[in-house]
Structures are given as C-alpha cells and as structure tokens.
C-alpha cells in the first residue's frame, strides 16, 4: 500500500481507509446503500485474514507518517479514531478471535440470509442478479468459517456451551424450514415469479445444504465446549478480556473496578426504586415488581399491542425533543417486530440506522416473541434508549454530519460502542426529565432498566474475569434488574458470546452525565442544555477520553 501525500492527509487517509473497509465488509456497504459490492460477502478465510492484517499495518504506518503539527480538532480526532480502529482489529487477529466468530447466536454466519434480506434491495433486475451472486458465495463463506472453528477446536480454544446450544437451535430451525419460509422470499419482497424461483433454487440447492453441513460440525463441536462460560477459561483469556474491555469502552478500567462501580450504582438505584414502591403502597421494589408481574393489565394483549405502544412512545418523544435539542434527525424511525427466524434468541429490542440515500428509515425492532412474557411498564425506557431520543437521534444525526469524513459519519462505531450506548442510557434518564414516562410504573421500568445496565457491569466482569457460572448471572439479573427468566437467560448468553460489550452502557452514561454536571456547575443558570446535547451529538461517536477532553471547549454558556 502506497502513501499519497496531499494538503489534507488525514481526510484522504480516512477516506481510503473507509473505502477499504467497505470492500472488506460488503454487507456493511449494502446496509449503508453503497451497492458496489452487492454481489459479495466478506472473506473469513486464512487468506482473507492475511490480507486484512497486511492492509491494517499499512494504514497504521501511513497514519504514523502524518505530521500532526497544526492539525485542527476534527482532523486530530479522525486520526486518533482511525488508529484505534486499526489497532483493535489487529488485536482481534492477534488473539485469534476468528476461532469463535462462526458460533454466535446474535451475529453468526447462519444469520446472513436474514441480514441480506433486511438490507439488499430487490427492486430491479440488476439488484436481483447481484443478490443471486451473493447467495452463490454463501457456501464457500460458510466453509471458511467451518475451517476456522475446526482450527479453534484443534487449538483447545472453543466457545461456551450455552452459545453453541443456542446457535445449534437456530441452525436446526433454518435447516428444517422450507425454502419458501426464508426471509429472502418474504411476501413483501418485490420479486417476479421467475426471480423468486431463481432465489428459491439457490436456497434449496446451495444455502440449505451448506447450513446442514455446518449444523453437523456444530453438533460434533458441542462436546468440546470450553470448561467455563467465561473467556477466562481460554489459555489467553485474561488478555483477551482486557482487550475486549478496551474495544468496548475505549477505557483501560480493570474488571474489578468496573464490577465495583456496577455494585455501587445498583445500591443508588435501589434507593430510587424503593421510593416508588412506597409511593404505590409497597414496602419494596421487589413486592411492587411481583404485583406488576401478575397484573394482567401489564401484559400485551398480543404481539401487535407491543408494536402499537412503541409507536405511541416514539410520537410522544418526537413531540418533546425540540425542548432540549436544537439539531433533530431528518430521517424517520419505523417500528417493526423482530423476524420470526431469530426472535426466540434475540434481545427485547434493537435498532438499525437509516440508509444514507433515504431508501430505508431508521428501524426500531421490538421482540414480540411470547408476548405474555413481556411487561408493558418496561417498554418505554427501551423505546427511549433504542429509538427517540436515543440511538435513532445519535446514529442518524451522526450520519448527517456532512462536514465529517464518511469514516466518522458511518464507521465511528468501529471505535467502540461506549459513546452510543452511553447516549442511549443517558436518554432513558433524559426522558424522565421530559416527563415522558406515563406514571410511576413506567418510571420503575426505567429504573429497572438502569439497574439492568449496572448489573451488566457486575455480570460481564463476573462471568469473564471473576469466574461466575451462568446460573449465578441469571439469578443476579432477575433479582437486581427485575428481568424475567427468559430475558435473564437470553441476556446472560449474549454476554457470554460477546465479552465486554455489556460494559459499554454504563461507562458511556457515566462520562456523558458527569460532563453535564461539570458544565452545569461551571455555567450555572447560563448552562444551555440544548447546546450541550447538540455538541455531544454534533461530532459523531467519540472515544470517551476524547469526549472528556474536548466537550468542555465546545459547549458555550448562554449569552447574558
């Protein structure tokens, strides 16, 4: 890789890095509406990894060669972020995390047909041709992953049993399903009869046999699950977890410090929950929660009732937002139920950003699986976290910052999710300030949500550093965060499969809320909350240390 010298070296390097990344991750490009690589999948083979490592080292060398004297703030941030992303990806290769990438109930390769169905447009003959080529590539893609898990098994570096079992359950379901049940052939897909037959043939003749072979590998792999659920059980587990903490939070906090902070936050939140319980005539939050759990009016009548309630909450938040935001996202946010093929293993809700070209709105996915297990008083805080004013505001506004390089607008989450998840958690509290919760029940739901994220600090570090077993985590989440049995099990298995990610939420909120308190103290009555929010969101996702350093210089007090 050659170095190109220009009068804007950081911007040009960031642009080249981003174009390289999109080519290496073509489905990400498709999700963003970039269709240049629509006929491809990423390359998880040994050859693909070698190319990625070589290219990343080349980008690191180019970044190091840039003279940073006189760089403006945004260029300095861009350069820092690019180096962090490259370093973290190189660390992932160093730790050989590809041994586990193929066994993941949230993002494993067996979910690719569904992911492709979500993002690959099928409204023209050219796009359908690209789709068919992409699907033809799936068996080779899956074979490469199968070789990777075989290498991990041979090296004694295997996934945890709960994650393997959930992945097997999903793959069995996919293999048993008729091709006509594939999300690629959903009734809303604009396919002609001939096009539908082409896609169906690839599913039947290539995708399903590849999944069946993969299933056989997983079933043979299950007896070799590692001895403990946590990453500590790997020979290099402590180092892997330290890297995971840094990748997720952009901080170098120790597992014990994060564990202790989570416990302290749980104690503080419990004081607030007890106050609500007593307001409603109960001695403890546990008693109130038990009453809500058995209250039929606190359960949705059916799946659609959850979707309808989420839409009402988004409308309420959208109407209130101009009171505390100067900048609002242009794209709308749509509510959809989680697809049936993954709903049993999916979290309660999640968000996908809009396509930059306007072809797809932001999508807030609600899990409507087993609706009688869901509790209505908890949905509001989830909506305000995932949609408005949470992820939909933060991610969509980020994508609309046209003065920043595309790497910053669309790829900043590569630097870690502490900023975005911290904003989502901050948004739950902000919704309370705005009076969006409909009574003390929903406020208890918000506090249980806050406790859930504090409990994540405790549970994630407990599982991966302090050698907690799965049941201890499930029990802790039920007791401390008020999760149902199903939710506690699903969440625990998510933490097991994705070490460190659960730490991002409360560490990010801690930084954002702490900076707000600092500026409120500095500016007093002249503190401008709208300006604070606009500056927090006006530079895209940032490493927490960068946010801490730069934000006080960006936020100005109100004029006299």
52 three-class SS: helix
> What residues have CB less than 8 Å from 512, skipping those under 6 apart?
422, 423, 426, 536, 547
Distance of CA 240 to the CA centre of its chain: 20
pTM for the structure as a whole: 0.88
Residue-level pLDDT at 280: 96
Start-to-end C-alpha separation, the chain: 54
d(CA 445, CA 437): 9
Residues 120-132 have a mean pLDDT of 97
Residue-level pLDDT at 346: 77
Residue-level pLDDT at 35: 95
pLDDT digits (tens, 9 = 90+) for 427-466: 999 999 999 999 999 999 999 999 999 999 999 999 999 9
Q: How confident is the model at residue 4 (pLDDT cuts 50, 70, 90)?
A: very low
Give the total residue count for the chain. 560
pLDDT digits (tens, 9 = 90+) for 503-544: 999 999 999 999 999 999 999 999 999 999 999 999 999 999
Residues 206-213 have a mean pLDDT of 97
d(CA 399, CA 223): 45
Average model confidence (pLDDT) across the chain: 94
pLDDT over 90 at 61, yes or no: yes
Q: How confident is the model at residue 341 (pLDDT cuts 50, 70, 90)?
A: confident
Of 188 and 197, which is predicted with more confidence? 197
């Amino acid at each position: 890789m050659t170095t190109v010298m220009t009068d804007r070296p950081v911007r040009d390097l960031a642009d080249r890095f981003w174009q390289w990344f999109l080519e290496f991750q073509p489905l990400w490009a498709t999700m963003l509406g970039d269709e240049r690589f629509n006929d491809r999948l990423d390359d998880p083979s040994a050859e693909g990894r070698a190319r990625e490592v070589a290219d990343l080292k080349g980008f690191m060398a180019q970044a190091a060669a840039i003279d940073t004297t006189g760089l403006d703030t945004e260029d300095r941030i861009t350069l820092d972020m690019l180096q962090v992303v490259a370093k973290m990806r190189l660390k992932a290769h160093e730790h050989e995390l590809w041994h586990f990438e193929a066994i993941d109930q949230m993002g494993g390769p067996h979910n690719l047909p569904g992911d492709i169905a979500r993002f690959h447009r099928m409204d023209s003959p050219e796009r359908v041709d690209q789709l068919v080529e992409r699907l033809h590539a799936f068996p080779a893609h899956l074979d490469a992953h199968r070789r990777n898990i075989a290498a991990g098994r041979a090296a004694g570096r295997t996934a945890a049993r709960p994650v393997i079992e959930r992945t097997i359950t999903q793959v069995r379901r996919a293999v048993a399903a008729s091709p006509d049940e594939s999300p690629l052939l959903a009734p809303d897909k604009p396919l002609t009869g001939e096009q539908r037959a082409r896609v169906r043939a690839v599913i039947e003749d290539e995708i399903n046999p590849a999944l069946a072979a993969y299933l056989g590998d997983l079933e043979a792999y299950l007896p070799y699950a590692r001895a403990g659920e946590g990453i500590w059980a790997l020979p290099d587990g402590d180092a892997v977890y330290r890297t995971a903490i840094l990748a997720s939070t952009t901080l170098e906090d120790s597992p014990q410090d994060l564990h202790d902070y989570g416990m302290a936050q749980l104690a503080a939140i419990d004081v607030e929950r007890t106050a609500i319980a007593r307001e409603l005539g109960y001695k403890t939050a546990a008693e109130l929660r038990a009453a809500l759990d058995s209250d039929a009016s606190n359960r949705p009548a059916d799946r659609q009732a959850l979707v309808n309630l989420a839409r009402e909450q988004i409308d309420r938040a959208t109407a209130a937002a101009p009171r505390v935001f100067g900048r609002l996202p242009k794209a709308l946010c749509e509510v959809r139920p989680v697809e049936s093929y993954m709903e049993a293993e999916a979290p309660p809700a999640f968000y996908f950003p809009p396509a930059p070209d306007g072809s797809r709105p932001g999508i807030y996915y609600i899990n409507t699986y087993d609706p009688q297990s869901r509790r209505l008083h908890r949905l509001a805080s989830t909506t305000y976290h995932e949609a408005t004013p949470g992820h939909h505001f933060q991610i969509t506004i980020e994508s609309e910052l046209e003065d920043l390089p595309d790497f910053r607008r669309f790829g900043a989450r590569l630097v870690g999710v502490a900023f975005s998840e911290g904003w989502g958690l901050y948004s739950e509290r902000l919704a309370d300030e705005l009076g969006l919760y409909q009574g003390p029940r929903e406020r208890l739901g918000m506090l249980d949500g806050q406790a859930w994220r504090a409990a994540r600090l405790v549970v994630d570090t407990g599982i991966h550093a302090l050698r907690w077993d799965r049941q201890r985590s499930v029990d802790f989440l039920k007791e401390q965060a008020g999760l149902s049995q199903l939710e506690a099990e699903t969440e625990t298995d998510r933490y097991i499969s994705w070490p460190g990610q659960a730490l991002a939420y409360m560490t990010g909120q801690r930084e954002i809320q702490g900076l707000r308190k600092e500026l409120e103290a500095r500016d007093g009555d002249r503190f401008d909350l709208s300006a604070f929010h606009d500056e927090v969101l006006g530079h895209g996702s940032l490493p927490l240390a960068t946010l801490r350093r730069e934000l006080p210089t960006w936020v100005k007090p109100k004029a006299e």
